[in-house]
Structure 1
Amino acid sequence: MLEVLNKQIVLASRPVGEPTAENFRLVEVPLASPTEGELQLQTLYLSLDPYMRGRMSAAKSYAQPVPIGGVMEGGAVSRVLASRNPSFTVGDIVQGRTGWQTHPISNGSNLERVDPKLAPISTALGVLGMPGMTAYTGLLNIGQPKPGETLVVAAATGPVGSLVGQIGRLKGCRVVGIAGGADKVAYMRDELGFDVALDHRAPDFAAQLAGACPDGIDIYFENVGGHVWEAVFPLLNNFARVPVCGLIAHYNEDGPQPGPDRLPMTMRAVLSKRLTFRGFIVTDFAAQAADFRRDVGAWLKSGAIKYREDVVHGLEKAPEAFIGLLKGRNFGKLVVKVAD
């Protein structure tokens, strides 16, 4: 073994509102030895994703929360250091939900091999991983894009939103991307090739969005909520589809927020415009994993789609990077490089 300790980031306390550094704790525990059927892994890259904020809360959700003192939930790409499992050999590169730690033990049941020849191995956590499949399945199954339609996507430089917009363009949609900051607007316009790129921080953002969608919005891929949703809502066309993937603007709220009751107005529009709203979790479409890998892998290889990564170095940097993610500080898929 290269190290004598397994470094872990555990949940020290449940956040109230925005997470802070005090909600996390770095611990070091002796390396466990794999028993029959198990593997000793070395984490190479750790994925940081907005859904992890929900795992820090004890509120009822679609998945169990991380217990106090438990290793933070997360997907990772790892190298097999030792194997007592006949399905894996030393040196294999694998990905799975092994958490925020340097040397996890796994029974192999939820691991998948990563082909280092296909693309950089970190892409197994982004464009060729869970975020990529979220974009692919959410847009195609719920958004159902058609040539000539207007697709608006929030958080459009993130790993999900950027792929949603690019797939929308491949399907013939007119794509309006929304993100925060001039550098992200330039990236959407100049690198991703979106038809319109908007900064949600602009004081006249709602007016800009209305001007960018003169024929209304047919598909809105929801990653954010908040004031972006408020600007989008009145522009939805009859029969518009809204895949609800995330609501990052609301993840740190610790109770009902002040303001008018918008439910009657919302439901009236759902009825009169015959709107389709559907929340989804990527595992809802697990049966489409092979289709996703085939299509997105081919688009990536041909250069039809692009991706961007935001890499921080060292497991100890994960809490700070995650807190920044919830504030929109990342630019691209956020990963932690844990080891070479």
Structure 2
Amino acid sequence: MTALQGRVVVAREHFVVDVALEVAAGETVAVMGPSGAGKSTLLQALAGLVPLGGGEISVDGRVVDRVSSPRVQVAPMHRGIVLLGQDARLFPHLSVRENVAFGPRSAGVAARVARASADEWVARVGLPGAGDRMPHELSGGESQRVAVARALAASPKAVLLDEPLVALDPDTAAGIRRMLREQLDGVTTVAVTHDAADAIALADRLLVIEAGRVTQSGPVRDVLGEPASDFVASIGGVNRLVGVADGGDWVAGEVRLASADAASRALAAVDGAPLAAVFRPGDVRLVGGERAGADAWAVTVTDLEQTLSGVRVRTGVGVVDVPLADAGGLAVGGTVRVRIDPGTVRFVAVD
């Protein structure tokens, strides 16, 4: 059953956001895209905070927003949708318990019942006994936990997450991510994130938006593993180089790559077919001297970036992760030779 469905059309300054979305009951869909691609606009339109320029939104089969006649525009508080962002936005004058009880009480639930339920929700998100605390006494991570409890205590039909972990330190974010995975199980959710770890941990499917349009969608690992754009390749941590099939290999200029993957070889069987070669930076090896054979190619170093484990070498043909011990002598503008094992290369069709 589809719980959240619609087509969102909203004019932005430089482009029009035009996104079709279907989320099954209990499903979590992650949304990723470059900054300014329209992700937050999508969520705000679903929540009723940004007016539609076109399209229609329905929740559990009930139309809550429609531009065409007969016009429908249900107020945000009556859509059954809650939006959680980077700022928890707790009511500063209310205790944790009263913040969480606010939604049920507004819906007519008796104060005693709502407060008892609030204490249960506060415990469920990892803050047992915190009901009497005030928002100013909470850390950023604790505030986000309370915000999740407040949202879910209202029994929403759908939850929208707009990068709720982006302002948290890594350890705190990891804890909140685990809590979200547990508490959102079975809750219809759309989660905007910039972190592939969030998408993998929380979502069933991934929707990629670039310049207001969906450029790729599907199961999270499938999308990240077969990137259809440079942006998806970057968040998936892989190189994506566009070339053509030639003699069963991938070719671009003087660079020729082979793949040991059967599906990749099948794609490369049609000479001239556009292909993208996908491989991880850590699978590329620097070679030189006697080891630099015909299967190695020369690249120019365009940038050097220190990493925790070594140096990331950016070149005109992909990115190479080099252990610190092998990074001596590398310089921007210099030329190095590289090689990659065919067993670590896959080919992806290019539209």
Give the TM-score range, shorter chain. Answer: under 0.3
Larger radius of gyration: 2
Of structures 1 and 2, the one scoring higher in RCO (CA 8 A, sep 6+) is 1
Q: TM-score, normalised by structure 1?
A: 0.24
Q: TM-score, normalised by structure 2?
A: 0.24
